[in-house]
Structure 1
Amino acid sequence: MCEVIETHMSWVFLTERHAFKLKKPVSLPFVDYRTVERRRQSCENELRLGRRLAASVYEAVVPLVASPAGGLAVGGAGEVTDWLVVMRRLPEDRMLPQMLVRGAATR
């Protein structure tokens, strides 16, 4: 089963163990993700910066490919259609909204 979270800049697909972030092809005053190459660069930057703060969470940047059998696949053979940031999914009790409710978030 997969849960989807949508923001103004991305879709995040949550599986039991991972979060896969797909950047939307949008142009906003502060970001331009209209091309696959720009989205790949943004994914690489996010991975690099994310690893500085949470090295055990940010795992990789992988291609989203059109598979030879049809459909889409994460990695593997096929034409690259986009890029994903792969992160380890944190337990729900480690997510900011739950930590704020418990008073467990610190500066």
Structure 2
Amino acid sequence: MGPRISRFLAPFFFGVCLVSSAPAQHRSRQDIEKEYLAHAQQAVPRDAFPVLLNPAMGTVADGDKLFQANEWIIGVAINGEAKAYPVTVMGIHELINDKVGGQPITVCW
């Protein structure tokens, strides 16, 4: 009785798999990407990340305490003044308005 049932069930399940996978094969990559991007764009509302204005800065000596050795930074040097903006902070704020060397700047990530 067992082999007879398995001879019936194997083609049945194979057919079910073919029928159920057919609709997925008809979706183009562009359709899938559009659907994914539609959800991704709605994940974060507009202006969710506040602009950081004139952030507090440490000294060069504080750098070893504030940054990891392999941490990414965005460095800006103007008129003999240099500042470092950690990418970890930029990931939260995306925009920083500051002054370096007496010049107003905007740092973006």
Q: What TM-score does the superposition give when structure 1 sets the normalisation length?
A: 0.20
- Which has a greater percent of strand? 1
Q: What TM-score does the superposition give when structure 2 sets the normalisation length?
A: 0.20
| Higher Cα Rg, which structure | 2
